[in-house]
A and B are shown apart, each in its own frame.
Chain A
């Protein structure tokens, strides 16, 4: 059923009719498939609610809000970001769920906030291993607590890290210092933890050990075991990253992989694992890293005094280790296996590739 644009947004469109029409015409010059009817529906369904809510918060800004959101949504619409692909779902949901939840921030900086949220949704959707829905849910939930654009941005990064973008770990940890605990509780599912000191303690644990989570207190190290904590990579033909079984090295303290074609940077922790292809096409330099965390050809992993045998890792092709994580590759697999010490009750858990 056709929806009509009403309220403040209708007035904005009427006032700038010629200008908005010209913008659409110009956009159609570079994208002949731009459908006017579909764009009107998009305006009514996604843009109007945001504009009307924000305009209610700052009626004198209605024209600026409407124009900014019209143009930014036209850019996204023309780029196919609201299309039918699964990636577009997150963008669609961001406009339907997050933006209406932050009308005050939209009113203060319509273009900046809409662009930041849209770009973040786009980036999360681009990362297959990320939990985009989890991010949406968290951002929607914290919307009511957000009164400052800087906090929104920091909270967005922390939530993105929590939902699988492991490469944001360092930035997110540092952003935690400037975000209210009430927001951090929502992001890290700690609503039940009433004591602020306990919340802070868990956040410190996150910083100290990449394989800890904020869900619970870390078990004492005596109760920890070695386990394959994450498997990532995979054959490109099946949607993975690598064209050949990769080798891993430690370069400047970071895991790097090489598959005979490109170098990849691996960021991984308890919340996710992300591979980023680098431009370099030459084999890796670097070294295997920590000598206290090793695997032998029989699949026996040693970390200090703790040992465990992993039969599936027999005859490893390469290995590299930090103090907390051992990365292993096999000659007959396109995957990278990450081993770490985790609480005994979590040992044996494997994250999907």
Chain B
């Protein structure tokens, strides 16, 4: 039987803020104190971000020994220390900070996406995935049975199910065959253990379930519910027994590293052995989320506001990577995709580029750009991070902290970029989280140097255009066309063509074309 202490959930508020209004006294206050009057049960009226934080703190305090705070938040000044010859910066966060290893899987549960847990054996990857299943309301027995263990002999039938022999024998046509679908397909938490040990053909079947939310066997379809996925892999590079197919890797939304065990916490392990405590058997009922809770949480997360000024920074950041000036002569095709589709070695093509500072050109550090899926995933996790912190508006730090985990497997590094040759940047070749965060920091630095937060010439043009073309007079259209041409003219005078300008120029071209078409229509109408 579980002890009550073990089931203790952090008291609310887990992230206290100054009260905005005078607190009114209530007779019930007399009975609020060090002990709760009831063992609290799930309460649908309670703010779910608070419940999410309580779940987080229960996991970090009682379940997973993850004494790391790699998602750092600061409130005002903070202490920083420089260690060793490599000048390693050790920051002591001045605001509530989090362990990515616990936080990201939890956010994944809330936004119902796909989370890959990577790290060596015995680091607790499966343990945290199981906890997520229990937090979603499944019993330990059900969730353990539903885990799909990747292994080299795994067939599609192992993964999806089997046709019922009787219906096979009697079937006159394919629709007559009945399939005994595997139970895990209908669950809202799906765990694939060691997914990189699944044979390639079975990976393709898994891809259909992950990407399109249905399973197909012998022309029969099983529609799966919306689910949070947890995949584990022992090999960070996705090596494993089988190479993971690109499309499957691309479907993974966040990558979380299972960090090493801090030996200073060995005593915690010892106590667990001595006391025979198993966290997954003692999850407090008040932090278990119902299907409705998760649906509501998802909706609330989508409702978190991303302010335009931060969205602009994200746009600017994402603009750096797809551009490859050397890849084409036509503006629209100057992308890394063009080079890859041509079958050429992208790195050699990029090396051929001259005149630009390859240390400053952020796009030079990557071998690809950001897909629509990557950007959408970034947006949802950024919102989820703000929501988890009890905010209803995204803050700059939410973006900075989430991007590395979302783009971890999406932004492919170009390790031969001169940037990584510099002594202080060499470690970024292996530490992708820091690399992506550094990319974002460098992008923001450039954004500020260019004064784009105050003077972005495209913003007034975009705002004018968003107001609609209806009723805009011919003179006004011509004026706007001239304004676009003026900006293009200015940019073409002696400036290098950097990645961040590429999307701006394409946008200017788009606006110019829309106004040109409209002008043509206006002139036809007046003729």
- Residues of chain A touching chain B, judged by Cβ–Cβ distance below 8 Å, are 16, 18-19, 22-23, 25-27, 29-30, 71-72, 74-76, 79, 81, 111-112, 114-116, 118-120, 122-123, 153-154, 156-157, 160, 165, 167-168, 171-172, 175, 251-252, 265, 267, 276, 278-280
**Contact check: which of A16, A26, A276 meets B275 at CB < 8 Å?**
A26
Report chain A residues within 8 Å CB of B25.
167-168, 171, 267, 276
Number of A-B contacts (CB under 8 A): 101
Tell me whether B26 and A119 are in contact (CB under 8 A): no
A149 to chain B, nearest CB (A): 10
Known: A29-B5, A119-B32. A171 touches B27 (CB 8 A): yes
Tell me whether B30 and A165 are in contact (CB under 8 A): yes
Report chain A residues within 8 Å CB of B27.
153-154, 157, 168, 171-172, 175
Tell me whether A278 and B19 are in contact (CB under 8 A): yes
Return the chain B residue nearest A126 by Cβ: B33
Tell me whether A112 and B5 are in contact (CB under 8 A): no
Known: A75-B35, A112-B38, A120-B31. 12 other contacts (CB 8 A): A27-B5, A72-B35, A115-B33, A115-B37, A116-B31, A123-B29, A123-B32, A153-B31, A157-B27, A167-B25, A172-B27, A276-B25
Tell me whether A111 and B37 are in contact (CB under 8 A): yes
Report chain A residues within 8 Å CB of B275.
22, 25-26, 29
Q: How many residues of B contact A (CB 8 A)?
A: 27
| B264 in contact (CB, < 8 A) | no
Return the chain B residue nearest A21 by Cβ: B3
Bound CA–CA A27/B62 (angstroms): 12
Report chain B residues within 8 Å CB of A276.
25
Bound CA–CA A10/B25 (angstroms): 41
Bound CA–CA A175/B271 (angstroms): 49
A135 to chain B, nearest CB (A): 10
Report chain B residues within 8 Å CB of A118.
33-35
**Contact check: which of B5, B18, B31 meets A279 at CB < 8 Å?**
B18
Bound CA–CA A115/B275 (angstroms): 28
Report chain B residues within 8 Å CB of A111.
37-39
Tell me whether B22 and A119 are in contact (CB under 8 A): no
- Residues of chain B touching chain A, judged by Cβ–Cβ distance below 8 Å, are 1-6, 18-19, 22-23, 25-27, 29-39, 271, 275, 277
Bound CA–CA A298/B187 (angstroms): 80
B217 to chain A, nearest CB (A): 47
B284 to chain A, nearest CB (A): 13
Known: A120-B31, A175-B27. A19 touches B19 (CB 8 A): no
Give the secondary structure class of A's interface: helix
Return the chain A residue nearest B268 by Cβ: A29
Tell me whether B23 and A119 are in contact (CB under 8 A): no
Tell me whether B31 and A278 are in contact (CB under 8 A): no
**Contact check: which of B3, B18, B22 meets A26 at CB < 8 Å?**
B3
Return the chain B residue nearest A159 by Cβ: B30
Return the chain B residue nearest A154 by Cβ: B27
Tell me whether A278 and B23 are in contact (CB under 8 A): yes
Report chain A residues within 8 Å CB of B35.
72, 75-76, 114-115, 118-119
Report chain B residues within 8 Å CB of A81.
34
Known: A123-B33, A157-B30, A265-B22. A22 touches B38 (CB 8 A): no
Tell me whether A120 and B3 are in contact (CB under 8 A): no
Report chain B residues within 8 Å CB of A30.
5
A174 to chain B, nearest CB (A): 8
A114 to chain B, nearest CB (A): 8
Bound CA–CA A18/B2 (angstroms): 10
B40 to chain A, nearest CB (A): 11
Bound CA–CA A331/B34 (angstroms): 39
Bound CA–CA A258/B1 (angstroms): 52
Bound CA–CA A168/B30 (angstroms): 9
**Contact check: which of A75, A120, A278, A279 meets B30 at CB < 8 Å?**
A120
Tell me whether A19 and B3 are in contact (CB under 8 A): yes
Tell me whether A119 and B1 are in contact (CB under 8 A): no
Return the chain B residue nearest A20 by Cβ: B3
Please give me the 7 A-B residue pairs with the lowest Cβ-Cβ distance, nearest first: A119-B33, A171-B27, A26-B5, A26-B3, A23-B3, A115-B37, A19-B1
Known: A19-B1, A22-B1, A30-B5. A122 touches B271 (CB 8 A): no
Tell me whether A115 and B6 are in contact (CB under 8 A): no
Bound CA–CA A79/B26 (angstroms): 25
**Contact check: which of B3, B32, B33, B34 meets A22 at CB < 8 Å?**
B3
